[in-house]
Amino acid sequence: MTVTSLLQPAAVDDARPINGHGDDDIYPVHLLDGTKVQHCIMVSFFKFNDILDHQQIKQALTRVLQIGDWRKLGGRFRTKPQLIQGQGLEIHVPRQYTAARPAFNFAFETCPCRFAEHPLGGQLPQEAADAVSLSAHLGELREYGHAPGFPNTMDDLVDRDAPQLSFKITHYTDATLLATTFSHCTWDVSGALGFMKALQLVLDGREDEVPPMLGASSDMLAEVAGLHERGLQEDVQLKQMMSHRSGDEKECVHRSPQPILEERLIGIPMDTLKRLRSLVIAEDGDEDTWMTYQPDELFVALVVQQIARASPTPRSINMMNILNARLVVPSLSKARGVYTQNMVLLAPNKLSPNTTAGGLGPIAVSQRACIGGFTTQANIARSLRTFLGAIQAGVDTTALTSSDDDAAPLLINNLVRFTNELDIDLSSAVLRQGEGSATRNNALGTVDFCYLTIKNPYDMMRITTLGAYDGTACWMFGELPARAWELLQETLDELGQ
pLDDT of residue 387: 84
Q: Note down pLDDT in tens along the chain; length 497 residues.
A: 333 333 333 333 433 444 547 789 999 999 999 988 899 999 999 999 999 999 999 999 999 999 999 999 999 999 987 654 445 899 999 999 999 999 999 999 999 999 999 999 999 887 878 899 999 999 889 899 999 889 999 999 999 999 999 999 999 999 999 999 999 999 999 999 999 999 999 999 999 999 999 999 999 999 898 876 554 454 555 565 555 544 434 444 445 667 899 999 999 999 999 999 999 999 888 889 999 999 999 999 999 999 999 998 888 999 999 999 999 999 999 999 999 999 988 899 999 999 998 899 999 999 999 999 999 988 898 888 888 888 887 776 665 656 556 789 999 999 988 887 788 999 999 999 999 999 898 999 999 989 988 777 677 899 999 888 777 889 999 999 999 999 999 999 999 88
pLDDT of residue 250: 43
pLDDT of residue 1: 34
The phi-psi region of residue 467 (left if phi > 0; otherwise alpha if psi is between -120 and 50; otherwise beta) is left
Q: What is the CA radius of gyration of the chain?
A: 23
Give the bridge partners for 176, in sequence order.
Answer: 48, 171
Common-topology check for domains 26-127+139-216 and 259-420+455-496: yes
C-alpha 321, offset from chain centre: 13
pTM of the predicted protein model: 0.89
Give the bridge partners for 467, in sequence order.
Answer: 475
How far is the C-alpha of 206 from the C-alpha of 200, rounded, in Å?
9
Eight-state DSSP code of residue 174:
S
pLDDT of residue 6: 34
How far is the C-alpha of 133 from the C-alpha of 27, rounded, in Å?
44
pLDDT of residue 396: 65
Cβ neighbours, 10 Å, residue 206: 11
Give the torsion sign (CA, 176, 164, 30, 218).
negative
pLDDT of residue 245: 43
Helix (H, G, I), strand (E, B) or coil at 3: helix
- Please say whether the structural domain 26-127+139-216 has been given the CATH code 3.30.559.10: yes
Give the torsion sign (CA, 85, 31, 61, 18).
negative
Kindly compute the dihedral angle of the four CA atoms of residues 423, 426, 431, 437, in this order, to the nearest 10 degrees.
10
Eight-state DSSP code of residue 232:
P
How far is the C-alpha of 484 from the C-alpha of 210, rounded, in Å?
44
How far is the C-alpha of 151 from the C-alpha of 304, rounded, in Å?
36
pLDDT of residue 407: 87
Superfamily of domain 259-420+455-496: Chloramphenicol acetyltransferase-like domain (3.30.559.10)
CB-side neighbour CA atoms (13 Å) of 15: 0
Q: Where are the domains of the chain?
A: 26-127+139-216, 259-420+455-496
Residue 211 CB partners (closer than 8 Å, separation 6+): 194, 197, 198, 336, 337, 338
Which H or E run contains 447? strand 447-453
How far is the C-alpha of 52 from the C-alpha of 46, rounded, in Å?
12
Q: Are 154 and 77 in contact (CB under 8 A)?
A: yes
DSSP string across 64-108: HTTSGGGGGGGSEEEE-TTS-TTS-EEEEE-SS--SSS-SSEEEE
How far is the C-alpha of 267 from the C-alpha of 129, rounded, in Å?
8
**DSSP H helical segments within 160-231, as ranges?**
189-203, 220-227
How far is the C-alpha of 440 from the C-alpha of 418, rounded, in Å?
22
Q: Are 265 and 138 in contact (CB under 8 A)?
A: yes
Cβ neighbours, 10 Å, residue 421: 9
